Structures are given as C-alpha cells and as structure tokens.
Structure 1
Amino acid sequence: MTIRAVIFDFGGVITSSPFEAFARYEAQRGLPLGFIRTVNATNPDTNAWARLERSEISTAAFDAAFRAEALALGHDVPGGDVLPLLAGDVRPGMVAALRACKAAFQVGCITNNVASEEDIGWGPSVKHILAEFHHVIESAKVGLRKPDPRIYLMMCEALGVEPAACVYLDDLGINCKPAAQLGMTAIKVTGEAQALADLAAATGLTF
C-alpha cells in the first residue's frame, strides 16, 4: 500500500533519548547503569511510570511511588529526580524531516507523556514543534499509552488512514512491535542519522 502518513514518537525521536540523561544521572549518583530503565521495566503496565503516563496519579504521588519501587530494587531514586531528565535536546534533522514529510503526507505524533508538562521541561520550543503535526495524541490526555494497540488505531482514525499506509518511528522496540503487527512500517530509532536513512527508504523522500 502507498504510504499516506508518517507517525512519530517524540522523546528519543524528535529529541535525543532520555536514556542518555538517565545514564548521566546514574553515573553522577553511583547507581548501576540502566537502573532507572530497570525500575520502569518492572511491572510495566501497573508501575508508577505507567500510571503517571495515563494520568492515574499526580506527579507528587509519582515521586513517592517511584522512590518506593527504586528502593525495592536496592537504590534510593525519587521520582522527582527522574522527570526533568525526560526533555532531551531537539534534533534539528528530525524536525526538518518532519516538515518534509508534512509536505507530502499526513503527519502525527503519539507520545507517552505526563499531564504536567512543566515537570519534564517542555518549553515553548517543544510546543512549537508539536504544532507542526496534523494530530498529536498524548497518553496523559487520552488515558492510554503505548504499546496499547488502541492508541495507534486512534491515530489512524484521526488521520483517516489505514495502518498499512503508515510509517511509524519510535526509539523503543516494545512500542514498534504493535505498530508492525497492525501493518505499519515500523522504524526503531537508534540515532538521528539512522532514523533519517530508514525514513528516506520507507517514504522515498530525501532528507
């Protein structure tokens, strides 16, 4: 099927991966490398992280709940320390690719985020980029989060396209899997150059 839409994740795709900030924090605090990701991967559908991204708990409640989960795994990490690490740095090449895609296709963004964007450092520059998309779905606003297949179908309905007509980019394989199962061309993003090359191959555009 001909590509009609390109759907982007935000953090780790349009911006640099928060995992880089996690690693810096872990090094500074003498924590095991990958510890924050380990906390997030434990009970991934019901833990503090998942509940925050579905707006089931406040950021204040997240601070305590994440800390309790971290302590259970052997280290003291308040949730309030983790949230500011999420913002990342904007990747200019990906923003340019977004605009090129917008000139040729429908473009959407599906992002797992939190209700209080100030807690993760989403300033005017990020909101300006979000305004470029034809449609944005934020987990905290709809009460669903990736990798729930329903959130991808929600985007397809909003853009008026079938999944098979979509390219989907995300930095997490667990989020690419349901997209691929629905029929989308899924691209796992490991870096800006790789993402641009794979997106060019999938769309026929030049970036």
Structure 2
Amino acid sequence: MGLRAALFDLGGVLVRPSANVIFSQAEEDLALPRGFLNKVITQGGLESPYLHLMKGEITFLQWVPLMEEDCRKLAAASKFCLPEQFSIQKIFEDMISKGKINYPMLRAAITLRNKGYKTCILTNNWVDDGPQRDVVAQLMCTLSKHFDLVIESCRIGMVKPDPEIYKFALEALKVGPHEAVFLDDIGANLKKARELGMVTILAQDTDMALKELEKSTGIQFLNHSVERPIAVQPNNVAHGYVEVKGVAEAELEQDLTRTFKSIFKGSDEKMDSISTKHIENGILKNVKDPFLSWMLTEEDINYYVQQYKKSGFRGPLNWYRNWDANWRWSCTATKRRILIPALLVIAENDMILSPQLSENMEKWVPYLKKERIKNCGHWTQLERPREVNQILIKWLKDVTKNPSVVSML
C-alpha cells in the first residue's frame, strides 16, 4: 500500500533555524564548550528536567531555574565558569524570536494535503508561560490551519523518540506505519520511527529533504521558476503613513466629520487638499473645511462619526499594517487556483484599485466574471448603487441557472 500520510517536525523543519543552530550560536557567543547545552539537556535520563518539560509536567518558567542549575553543575564539573550574562531564558527567547516559517516546506505540506494526504505536525514542545508565549501561539495558529492534526508532546505526555508517540500519531491519522512518511531534523527521532516501519527523511537541508519527499511520494515540490506575489513597500503607496502607529489614528480621529467628508468623494468631484508628500506627518493637515459629497447626506456622515467615536481607527488601520504578513501568507498559495465562481466589479475611474490591477486574473480565477462601471470611482456602491445592484442580481441569476457551476459553491 502507498503513502497516505505525512508527518512534519516543527522546529528545524517547518520553522527555521533549528534549536541546535541557536544553541551553537549561543555557545560561540558565550564562549561555552561546543555541545554544552545539548549535553545538559540530555543528561539525567528519565528524570531529566527537560523531559519533564516536554511531557508537560512542568512549565517553561518552572524549568528555567532547573536547567540553569544543571548548567552550573556541569560547568563546575568541567572546571569552567559560566559568564555573568548567561541566561537560559534569553537563549530560548532568542530562539523563538528568530524562528521563521520555512515556506518551501510548508508549501510541500499544503500540496500533499491538497493531493489527499493526511498531514500532521508532530513536535516535542513545552507549555509556554514565558513572556513570548504570544509569538509561539501566533506561529502555531498560522501553521495549524494547514494541517489535519497537530500533536505536541506536552499535551499528550509522550516525547520523541519514544515509539509510543509515533504509534499515537499513526492511530490518530488512521494509517499504518508503512503508509506514513516522517520528516525530522534529528536522526535519533527518525531511527525509532523507521524501526516501526515508517518512511523517514532527515530534514536538515530543505532542498535535499524535499527531493527525498518527491521520490517517496511521486509529487513535485521544487520549482524554482514559481511566480510569487510582488512585494510592495508601504511607503510607496497612498496608505504608507499608517505604518507609524498612533500618527494616523490621532489625525483621523481629531475631527471625524472632516475625515469622512475628505475620504468620500465621487469621481467627478474635486478632491480636498490631501497631502501626498511627507505623509508621516499626516495627510489632512491642509484640509480645513471639506465639502460634503453629493453621494452622501449629513445624516450619513453623522452615522460614520458616531460609529468611529466608539471604535476608533486602530482596528481598520491595523489591516494595512499587516500587509507584510498577508503577503507572506499569500506565498503559501503559490500556483493555487480559485475554482469557484467569482465576480469582480471594476470602477473605470478608481484611482486606488485601478482596472489594470485585474489584468490576467482569469489565469488564477478561471470562473471569474468581470463587469466594468464607466464614469465611476472607488466608492462604487455609493456612486453607482443601481448599476452595482443590477450587476449582482444578473450574475447571481446566471450562476444559479448552471448546475455544474452551482455544484462548485
């Protein structure tokens, strides 16, 4: 029977650099003997504090003083002194802060899942009550949605390379050992999995590991000519000034009526004197008494004002501040097509989402229907509500008349 499941280690495989790389760098920076940290971690056998940590029997902050005491003991036995700035907590916080998603490996996992494989993150991990626990939580949240299962040692009381953790994972995935491939950056972890009958791949080098994964699964992952989304520097676009937290909020919330009257303009109306230079100092500094657009009434403006008095602009502005993370996330969907029916309404005079931006979208959204509204700007629903409604109703009617299309929804 062929492979039906793929299991991926977290640190060193899905997230780089590995703990060993961070440990080696710390040892070099602190003038510690090579392999010192790993030696402290692995000593003690079944009563090792590190083993208790990975089983979830103690938390990270409970483990730190135990680990530092063991470091002092080993240093004394080895006849050298730990430097004053030595801190296990700092070393691990450094490991967390430097950890970045290994996107080629993540894309491989996503591809396998799209091909029908069951996928799993299988990791030795700890209960994190440290100051950077939100970073770890966010990372796990980002990764976990791309996998069928996440198994952390601290949640189940079993630690790699104990064969029981592999049996637990295989049972949870409902596959046999010979139906699963496991990628890890530690040879000892792979050895026990291999003895159970699992296919194993040492993943210390991503390209080499992916080549091995291609051989094992018959699926291609490495494609160096892949098209990627184009990165944009926030300062090169109109919303650049939102990057400086607090500046945009202070200006936009200073006079909400002025803000909304300045923002909402029809394509046939003269824009107020919104600054496009030195935007880090604000964009409305030259706007004194903006006129009310024909698209809205004073009652409409007052509604916006009352809503934003309650919520402020921080939430909406944070969407723009998240552009870099959104772009990195979009890279995980490289070459993936959207195969459900879609409608794009284009405004001919939109200065923000110009019609040119939609060119070649059909390549990635093959069932896309484009409709263009002439003599219309960015605020389509305000400027041309009748035309927008007609387009929506017609498209929905056409879609629902086609059974093959309806089945995609």
TM-score category (smaller protein): over 0.9
Task: Deviation per CA, 1:51-97: give whole Å up to 9, x if none.
Answer: 11111122232111101111121154543233224432211101111
Could you tell me which amino acid in structure 2 is paired with residue 41 of structure 1?
T
Q: How many residues align?
A: 207
Counterpart in 1 of 2:174? Answer: 160
Alignment of 1:102-121 (within 5 A): 102-104=113-115, 105-116=117-128, 118-119=132-133, 121=135
Question: CA contact under 8 A between 2:3 and 2:179: conserved in structure 1?
Answer: yes
Matched, 1:133 2:147: yes
C-alpha separation between the residues in 2 aligned to 1:169 and 1:132?
Answer: 16
C-alpha separation between the residues in 1 aligned to 2:136 and 2:67?
Answer: 21
Relative contact order, higher structure (CA 8 A, sep 6+): 1
Could you tell me which amino acid in structure 2 is paired with residue 82 of structure 1?
I
Query: Out of 103, 107, 116, which is 1:96 matched to?
Result: 107
SS across alignment from 2:46: coil
Question: CA contact under 8 A between 2:119 and 2:147: conserved in structure 1?
Answer: yes
TM-score, reference length from structure 2:
0.48
Could you tell me which amino acid in structure 2 is paired with residue 31 of structure 1?
L
Could you tell me which amino acid in structure 2 is paired with residue 112 of structure 1?
N
TM-score, reference length from structure 1:
0.92
Query: Out of 118, 124, 132, which is 2:138 matched to?
Result: 124
Unaligned runs of 5+ in 1: none
Alignment of 1:166-181 (within 5 A): 166-181=180-195
How far apart are 1:120 and its partner, in Å? 8.9
C-alpha separation between the residues in 2 aligned to 1:182 and 1:15?
Answer: 26
Between 177-186 and 43-52, report the one with greater CA deviation. Answer: 43-52
Unaligned runs of 5+ in 2: 76-80, 222-409
Could you tell me which amino acid in structure 1 is paired with residue 65 of structure 2?
A
C-alpha separation between the residues in 2 aligned to 1:132 and 1:202?
Answer: 21
Counterpart in 1 of 2:66? Answer: 65
Question: CA contact under 8 A between 1:40 and 1:47: conserved in structure 2?
Answer: yes
Moved over 4 A (4+): none
Counterpart in 2 of 1:7? Answer: 7
Question: CA contact under 8 A between 2:42 and 2:50: conserved in structure 1?
Answer: no
Could you tell me which amino acid in structure 1 is paired with residue 46 of structure 2?
D
Query: Out of 199, 202, 207, which is 1:193 matched to?
Result: 207
C-alpha separation between the residues in 2 aligned to 1:31 and 1:89?
Answer: 26
Question: CA contact under 8 A between 2:58 and 2:127: conserved in structure 1?
Answer: no
Counterpart in 2 of 1:79? Answer: 88
Alignment of 1:25-40 (within 5 A): 25-40=26-41
Could you tell me which amino acid in structure 1 is paired with residue 120 of structure 2?
G
C-alpha separation between the residues in 2 aligned to 1:113 and 1:7?
Answer: 15
C-alpha separation between the residues in 1 aligned to 2:127 and 2:197?
Answer: 30
How far apart are 1:121 and its partner, in Å? 4.0
How far apart are 1:44 and its partner, in Å? 4.3
Q: 1:54 to 1:112 in 2, by over 3 A?
A: same
C-alpha separation between the residues in 2 aligned to 1:19 and 1:124?
Answer: 22
Between 90-99 and 114-123, report the one with greater CA deviation. Answer: 114-123
Question: CA contact under 8 A between 1:167 and 1:187: conserved in structure 2?
Answer: yes
C-alpha separation between the residues in 2 aligned to 1:204 and 1:44?
Answer: 40
C-alpha separation between the residues in 1 aligned to 2:24 and 2:186?
Answer: 16
Bigger Cα Rg: 2
Between 7-16 and 73-82, report the one with greater CA deviation. Answer: 73-82
C-alpha separation between the residues in 1 aligned to 2:217 and 2:70?
Answer: 42
C-alpha separation between the residues in 1 aligned to 2:59 and 2:4?
Answer: 37
Task: Deviation per CA, 1:84-119: give whole Å up to 9, x if none.
Answer: 244322111011111011112110111100111744
C-alpha separation between the residues in 2 aligned to 1:124 and 1:111?
Answer: 16
